Structure 1
Amino acid sequence: MNKHPKDWLEAELQDTIDEDVEIEMEDAILSAEIKRIYHSHHPDQLPRKEYFRELLRLQSELIRLQDWVSYHKEKVVVIFEGRDSAGKGGAIKRITQRLNPRIVRTVALPAPSDREKTQWYFQRYVPHLPAGGEIVLFDRSWYNRAGVERVMGFADDDQVEQFFQDVPEFERMLVRSGIRLVKYWFSITDEEQQMRFLIRIHDPLKQWKLSPMDLQSRVRWEDYTKAKEEMFERTNIEEAPWYIVSGNDKKRARLNCMSHLLDLIPYEDVPHEEVTLPNRVFNPDYEREVLPRELYVPQKY
């Protein structure tokens, strides 16, 4: 029996909610003791209903922003920086969750190859910059040089100093070319990072997120703090200022970041062609072939 259109819509909405809940079930594998400790450190959590309501509202606004960027051929770059486990990836995931990947894409580059190490430092980032009608989110960016490369000794003092001299003019060039450049730093406390690292260690679904470099970031907390402070001092330019997102509460951090990004860009509704579903062409002589059973995925569920 065919479903009524209303039934289809309700089913689709339920699927959407299920996806959201699935994404949010981040503590599902944790032991009861770790859950208890974590929640004792976060007593004032945002009610789930309120969080989802605001998340869906902001995501619908992001669709309007996406349409405006596409229609007017705007170019937007959003940089996400911060300490390991600060919540950058979670924020990016919620921003892009309902957007068109042909318009909005995430760039998370691996460590540079031997060839890339000999290039102009910014060269490997340039191919990922947006064309007209695109939004690019950098999950870490050229600011690696001011952070992890500096602290871990992958860049010497001369390279770091050259970076600080170059990056303001590089970013001014991007802005002059018509790119809207937004830079976010996700900030968490020492205690919060320690808690999140412990969760990753004990959660089999998150252990892949921990690398030897992440563990070293705990040892070198103060070195990263000093590097961050100089980075802000020397790269917080008028054309592309830094915005700090308080990240100890992950849900609030996501909502605050999304809301702030929407406030920065003067998007508005754009014309849309009315979409109508065409009738299927029916050929009475056509018979659908029966495909071999081995082509089908086994229905285990």
Structure 2
Amino acid sequence: MGPALDGLLALLDLEQIERDIFRGRSRASVTGRVFGGQVAAQALAAAGRTVPGDRPAHSLHAYFLRPGDAAAPVVYTVDRIRDGRSFTSRRVVAVQHGEPVFHLSASFQVPEEGLEHRTGMPDAPDPESLPTAAETLPAFAADFVRPGVVERLLRSREAVDLRYVNPPPYGAVGTPRPPRSQVWFRAHGELPDTPLLHACLVTYVSDMTLLDPVLLAHGRGGWAVGDVVGASLDHAMWFHRPLRADEWLLYDQESPASAGGRGLAQGRVWTRDGELAVSVVQEGVIRVPR
């Protein structure tokens, strides 16, 4: 593993303060606030630390309540809602400066056999045929209104190899496109065989690009271009099958609707061999500056 991935894993290695209280370090995202995917991944890690290791996460439902302060740690308090024979439920509240900034409910399940089906995996080019972020992002530098955007975007993706199948929103500002986006991603290095860690890494990445289809539908470039103001509101994930975050995963995303200053996005994470591993839904604030 490289230093960037080591740093991300260190963020997920929470300090245990009490039996069900954990503390996580923070770092600034490309927007200057704490990245929502970081808080969601840390909260899932905190919940998982209180669950037997034979019960992987199967779902989470979360609300982003306040912007996170990148200069302060985040304290996670876990409430042991239920420990059943098959399912375990946890509730996590993330606090900074005495106020809740994030709330998560997560469920874990003993693996079992049952009915199985899935839809077909969408078509996408092989990830090796696509340019890396370091090769793609500098081409859009002229569109960015904030200084240092390319460098900040690249730093935010150092731990993850993320490759766009189609140009990102800031790659075609002013031209509405179908509200759909695809990216391949994997961790920049081999990870331990710990299912919770892989689920946390996918949770971290799941918040990086999910609102892109909303922007694409309106030809908006996002915060980097300065033509919208946005933030995640809520986030839900269902883990259908085991996966590895250090192997290529296709993140297929679309937006069915936007209204009321909000945009809804849906995502599906596929393994390279065509298995649907995760479903994701998020709504975010999408406002046009006045």
- Structure with bigger gyration radius: 1
TM-score bin, normalised by smaller chain: under 0.3
More strand per residue: 2
Could you tell me the TM-score, scaled by structure 1's length?
Answer: 0.23
